[in-house]
Structure 1
Amino acid sequence: MAQVDENYTRVSEFFIVGFPSLQPEYFCIVAWFLFILYVTTLVGNLVLVVVFALENSIHKPMYIIMVSLALSDIGFITVALPKLIARYWWNDMSIGFQTCLFQRHMIHYFGSLNSLILLTMAVDRYLAICFPLRYPMLMTNQTMTGLTIFCWAVAHVFPGVSSISFIFVPFCGPNQIIQNFCDSASLRALVCADITQLKSASYSTAMFILYVPLGIIIFTYFCIIVSVLQMGSTQGRKKTFSTCATQSIIISIYYLPRFFVYSAPYFPNLTMTPDRRMATTLFYSFFPPLVNPFVYCLRNKEIKEIFRHWFQRQKGITPTMQVTRNTLTSVH
C-alpha cells in the first residue's frame, strides 16, 4: 500500500483512515453530515462577507475583524472538509505527499490565524467598552485593517517552522494517517527518525500561539467586566454581559479542547483513544466556524436592520412585478 521513493526513503502519498471504529455502512451518513456542515458554514460566513461588501454603513473596525474571521473560517473548512467528505463518500483515502504537507500547514495556519483574530477582537471590545471616548481615535478603519493584515501574515510563521522540518525528515513506509486530515501529530507518528526535538518544538509553538493570546483575552475580559460593573445603566450592563458571555463560550470551545488534545501525550492520566481524539478535534475545528456568523452577526442590531431593510425592499419590488405580469397577461 505504501509507495516508497528509494532515493529519499519517503512515501509518495498518504492514506487518511478517519475514525478507526467507524463501520463502512455509516460512511454515507457521515459524508452527508459533513457536506451539510460544510455548506451551512460556507453560506453563513459568505453572507457576512457579502453584507460587508455591499453596505458601506458597516465599514467599521468591529466588522472588519468579523469579516476577517469569516474569511479565515471559510479558508479552514475549505482546506479540511472536501477531502474528508470524499474519504467517506467515495472511500477516496489517498492524498499526495506534498498535498498532505500543504493541508497540514494551512490547517495549523488558520488555527493560528483564528487565535490572533480572537485576540484582536477582544482588544477591540476592550477599547470600545473601557475607553469609549478615545475609541474612535485609537481604533480607526486603517488601524484595524493594518492589524488584520498583520495577523494574516504573522500566522504563517508558527506553522511554517514545523513545515520546514517536515520537508527534511524521512518517511520510510507507514503512510496511514489515523486522523480526518493531515496534521502535525498524525505526521509525526509516521516519521522514521528521532522526533524528540520536532515534537517539543511543535508543542511549544502550539502552546505559545494558543495560550499567550488566551491570557491576553482573559485579561481584557476581566477589565471589561470591571468596567461594566461600574456602569450606571442596568440595561447596558445586561447587554454587554450577554455579548461577552456568548463570545466567552465560543472562545472556550476554541481553546480548551485543543489543550486536552495537544497535552494528552504529556500527561499519563490524560488518555484519549483515537476515536475520541478525532471527535474532539472535529468539534473544536468545525463548531466555531459554524456558529460564528450567528454569534457575531445575526445577534447584531445593525446586521439585523440591514436584513430587515433588504427584505422590505424586496417586498416592495415583488408586488410591482406581479402587477406588471398580470397586466401583460390581461392585454394578451
Structure 2
Amino acid sequence: MIYTNVTRIKNFFILGFPGLLPQYYGPVSALLFFIYLAIALGNIFILAFVIHERSLHKPTYLIFCHLALTDLAFGTVTLPKIISKYWFDDSIISFYECFAQMYFVHFLGATHSFILIVMALDRFVAICVPLRYPVLITNTTINVLCGISWFMPISWMVGIVCHALTLPYCNSNIITQCYCDHIAITRLGCENVRAIQVVAFGLAMFSLLVPLGFIIFSYFCIIATVLRMSSSEGPMRTLSTCTPQLFITCLYYMPRCFVYLANNLGFNFSAPVRIVVVMLYSLLPAAVNPIIYCFKTKDIKETLKKRLNNRKINIDTKAC
C-alpha cells in the first residue's frame, strides 16, 4: 500500500479489483481491452453509418448518435487506465488527471441520462400525438435538446470537482475503484467530507431520478394510448417502435436503481463485488447498445441488409 504524509498528494494509486491474483492480470486486461474494442468499434460504426446514410437523418437516429457519443467517450475516459494497470503494471494516475477523469465520468453519466429524456420525449410525441410529430420533433429540435443535455451538467460538475479539489488530502492515496469517481476520491480527504458528499449525492439523484421519472411517466402515457387503439395489430406494431428505447433505458437505469435501493435498504456489498457491479452497469450498456440499434431498429436493420445485398451482388458481378 502507498501512503504519503504531505497535505497535497501528487499521485493516486488505482487499486482496481481488490484481491485479484497476479496470474489473472493478463486475462482481465485482455477482457477489458476487448470490451473497449467493442465499445469503440460499435459506437464509431453507429456514428459513421447514421452520418453516411441520408435516409437515417431522422430525429430518432440523431438521438442514437448522441447516446453513442456518450458511450464512446465514457469508455475512452475510464478503460485505458485500468487496462494499463493490469497490462503494464501502471497503477499511478496524477492528482489532476484523476480529478479530470472524475469530472468526465460524472459529466458523461448525467449527459447520457438527460439524452434518455429526449429519447422518451421522441417516442411520447410519436405515439401520443402523431399528427403533431413532424412539427414538434425535427432534426433541429432534437439537436437543440441534446445540446442542452450536454450543456446542463457542465456547471454543477465543475462546481463539484472544484469543491473536491479544495479538500486537504493526506495519508492514503489508494483509490478502491477502477477509475476515479467522486466517492472514492473524497473518502481520502482529511476533513469531514459528509457535506460535500451529500451535495454530490443530491445532484447525482437529480440527474438520475428526474429523467427516470419523466421516462416512466411518458411510457405510462404511451401504454395508455396504445391500449385505446381499436386495431388488434396496431398496438403491437406501435409498441415495437419503442423496443430499442426500452432496452437501452432498462440497461442504463435498472442496475443503478438496484444498487441504490440495496444500499438504502442496508444490503452492503463487499468491495470486490461492488466494483464488479459498478463496472458492469457502467460499461455493459455502452458495449451492447450498438447491437440494439442494429438489430432492434427497423430502418437501420433494413439499410444494413440493403448494403450487404448490394455488396454481394457487386462481388458476384465481378466474379462473373
Q: What TM-score does the superposition give when structure 2 sets the normalisation length?
A: 0.94
Match of 2:87 in 1: 89
SS in 2 for 1:95: strand
Match of 2:288 in 1: 291
8 Å CA contact 1:112–1:158 kept in 2: the answer is no
- Percent identity among equivalent residues? 39
Moved more, 249-258 or 228-237: 249-258
Q: 1:90 to 1:15 in 2, by over 3 A?
A: same
> How far did 1:268 drift?
6.8
Match of 2:249 in 1: 251
Cα distance in structure 1, aligned partners of 2:155 and 2:132: 33
Kindly name which structure, 1 or 2, has the bigger radius of gyration based on alpha carbons: 1
| CA displacement 1:164-223 (0-9 Å, x = unmatched) | 111211111311000010001100111111112101101111111100110010000000
- Matched to 2:129, the amino acid is F
Q: Which of 12, 18, 35 in structure 2 is aligned with 1:20?
A: 18
8 Å CA contact 1:3–1:13 kept in 2: the answer is no
Moved more, 67-76 or 255-264: 255-264
- Superposed, 1:247-286 pairs within 5 Å as 247-262=245-260, 267=264, 269-286=266-283
8 Å CA contact 1:3–1:12 kept in 2: the answer is no
- Matched to 1:37, the amino acid is I
Cα distance in structure 2, aligned partners of 1:244 and 1:49: 20
Q: 1:315 to 1:257 in 2, by over 3 A?
A: closer
Match of 1:307 in 2: 304
SS in 2 for 1:233: coil
SS in 1 for 2:267: coil
Q: 1:27 to 1:246 in 2, by over 3 A?
A: same
Match of 1:326 in 2: none
| CA displacement 1:228-281 (0-9 Å, x = unmatched) | 11223333322333454564344233223324545666x472212111111110
Q: Which of 188, 192, 195 in structure 1 is aligned with 2:193?
A: 195
Cα distance in structure 1, aligned partners of 2:67 and 2:51: 15
> How far did 1:37 drift?
0.9
- Matched to 1:278, the amino acid is I
Cα distance in structure 1, aligned partners of 2:218 and 2:261: 26
Cα distance in structure 1, aligned partners of 2:267 and 2:155: 30
Cα distance in structure 2, aligned partners of 1:145 and 1:180: 33
Q: Which of 168, 176, 179 in structure 2 is aligned with 1:178?
A: 176
Q: Which of 133, 149, 168 in structure 1 is aligned with 2:166?
A: 168
Q: Which of 118, 121, 131 in structure 1 is aligned with 2:119?
A: 121
Q: How many matched pairs?
A: 319
Q: 1:257 to 1:186 in 2, by over 3 A?
A: same
8 Å CA contact 2:241–2:297 kept in 1: the answer is no
- Superposed, 1:92-171 pairs within 5 Å as 92-171=90-169
> How far did 1:316 drift?
3.0
8 Å CA contact 2:77–2:105 kept in 1: the answer is yes
- Matched to 1:121, the amino acid is M
Cα distance in structure 2, aligned partners of 1:66 and 1:245: 13
8 Å CA contact 1:203–1:262 kept in 2: the answer is no
SS in 1 for 2:124: helix
Cα distance in structure 2, aligned partners of 1:179 and 1:127: 41
Cα distance in structure 2, aligned partners of 1:24 and 1:252: 35
Cα distance in structure 2, aligned partners of 1:101 and 1:172: 16
Match of 2:223 in 1: 225
8 Å CA contact 1:2–1:11 kept in 2: the answer is no
SS in 2 for 1:156: helix
**What are the ranges of 5 or more consecutive residues in structure 1 without an aligned counterpart?**
324-332
> How far did 1:2 drift?
4.1
Match of 1:329 in 2: none
Q: What TM-score does the superposition give when structure 1 sets the normalisation length?
A: 0.90
Moved more, 168-177 or 251-260: 251-260
- Matched to 1:216, the amino acid is F
- Matched to 1:202, the amino acid is A
- Superposed, 1:47-66 pairs within 5 Å as 47-66=45-64
